[in-house]
């Protein structure tokens, strides 16, 4: 593995850590204001930071205008994910949401077979199965009885809907992508999300309650905007160019381990021993996908003298 690949893995690992941190930060923000209000604020601030760079050049302004209708549709699912996440965190934990989020690659892959005509290899299927088993172990706390009776708490049930929304977002992104610059399509999606959130708040009469955010809450929101939204997107994009989307996607399964690590470092909150087998299964799924993707990539590169 050359230095460029090591750097790419480092960028994706950092981005995964930033996303894991967003579950913890979102859990702290959830009680402060309504979910639609928090999501609107996140989209508005992120768009305000990105929009000047997009509008600076004339060609990007034209690209943004053309991308807005597609961004509006894509953002519908993106917005729904964040609303459901904030609402779910009232009655579930950051670790549970991080574990459930590992279901996104598997569900997206299965949906892609019918909607996109994509193929699912045996190794991918096995890796998805490992990741799902790891997530289920964490959610049901290693209890077969709870698994058999599907005893999900209300927050887990809501976040399962959020996971389905994220799958729909991924599928719609693939279907509606037209070789747009990533910053342009991201900006269009953020603007679309702000539109949907504003419409929901207006129709339901939901109070913004932004005045209820104390200084730590604003710092938490800045983290979500700058690091969990913009920085992680940039890092994932750079990693995808070098490693390919499959190897980048594999890092999703590290979410439970990283959430657990951050909870321990930030709050001194130890992870129950009964949850570690599920976390280790998720890590194994990452390793398995990385190894398979690396083997396929090496086989595709012509060797010297052959």
The answer to whether position 303 is within a domain reads no
pTM for this prediction: 0.88
Residue 301 pLDDT greater than 80, yes or no: no
Please report the pLDDT score of residue 122 as a whole number. 82
Spatial neighbors of 301 by CB under 8 A, at least 6 apart, are none
Integer Cα distance of 153 and 132 in angstroms: 18
| Burial tier of 119 (Cβ tally within 10 Å: 0-12, 13-18, 19+) | exposed
The answer to whether position 302 is within a domain reads no
Residue 299 pLDDT greater than 60, yes or no: no
pLDDT classification of 294: cutoffs 50, 70, 90: low
The answer to whether position 88 is within a domain reads yes
Domain boundaries, position 192: 3-295
**pLDDT, tens digit, for every residue of 186-211?**
999 999 999 999 999 999 999 999 99
Integer Cα distance of 170 and 176 in angstroms: 10
**pLDDT, tens digit, for every residue of 8-27?**
899 999 999 999 999 999 99
The answer to whether position 272 is within a domain reads yes
Angle between helices 103-115 and 154-176 (to 10 degrees): 40
The answer to whether position 124 is within a domain reads yes
Please report the pLDDT score of residue 1 as a whole number. 62
Joined tokens for residue 100: 């459930």
The answer to whether position 301 is within a domain reads no
The answer to whether position 116 is within a domain reads yes
Integer Cα distance of 7 and 83 in angstroms: 34
**pLDDT, tens digit, for every residue of 107-163?**
888 887 777 677 777 888 888 888 888 888 898 888 887 776 767 899 999 999 999
Q: What is the count of structural domains for the chain? A: 1
Among residues of the chain, what percentage have pLDDT more than 90?
A: 58
**pLDDT, tens digit, for every residue of 66-85?**
999 999 999 999 999 999 99
Please report the pLDDT score of residue 42 as a whole number. 96
The answer to whether position 273 is within a domain reads yes
**pLDDT, tens digit, for every residue of 15-62?**
999 999 999 999 999 999 999 999 999 999 999 999 999 999 999 999
């Amino acid at each position: 593995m050359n230095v460029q690949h090591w750097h790419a893995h480092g960028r994706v690992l950092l981005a995964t850590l930033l996303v894991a941190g967003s579950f913890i930060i979102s859990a702290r923000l959830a009680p402060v204001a309504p979910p639609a209000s928090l999501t609107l604020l996140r989209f508005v601030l992120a768009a305000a930071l990105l929009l000047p760079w997009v509008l600076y050049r004339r060609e990007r302004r034209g690209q943004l205008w053309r991308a807005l209708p597609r961004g509006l549709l894509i953002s519908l699912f993106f917005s729904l994910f964040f609303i459901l996440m904030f609402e779910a965190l009232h009655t579930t934990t950051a670790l549970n949401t991080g574990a459930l989020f590992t279901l996104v690659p598997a569900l997206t892959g299965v949906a892609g077979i019918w909607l996109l005509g994509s193929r699912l290899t045996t190794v991918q299927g096995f890796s998805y199965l490992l990741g799902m088993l790891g997530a289920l172990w964490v959610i049901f706390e290693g209890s077969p009885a709870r698994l058999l009776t599907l005893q999900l708490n209300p927050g887990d049930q809501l976040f399962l809907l959020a996971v389905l929304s994220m799958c729909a977002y991924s599928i719609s992104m693939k279907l509606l992508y037209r070789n747009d610059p990533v910053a342009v399509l991201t900006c269009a999606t953020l603007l679309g999300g702000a539109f949907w959130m504003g419409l929901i708040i207006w129709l339901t009469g939901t109070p913004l309650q932004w005045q209820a955010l104390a200084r730590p809450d604003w710092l938490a929101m800045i983290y979500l905007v700058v690091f969990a939204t913009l920085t992680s997107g940039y890092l994932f994009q750079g990693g995808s160019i070098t490693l390919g989307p499959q190897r980048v996607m594999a890092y999703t399964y590290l979410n439970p381990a990283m959430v657990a690590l951050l909870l321990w470092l930030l709050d001194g909150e130890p992870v129950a021993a009964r949850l570690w087998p599920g976390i280790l299964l998720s890590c194994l799924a990452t390793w398995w996908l990385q190894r398979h993707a690396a083997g396929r990539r090496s086989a595709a590169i012509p060797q010297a003298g052959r």
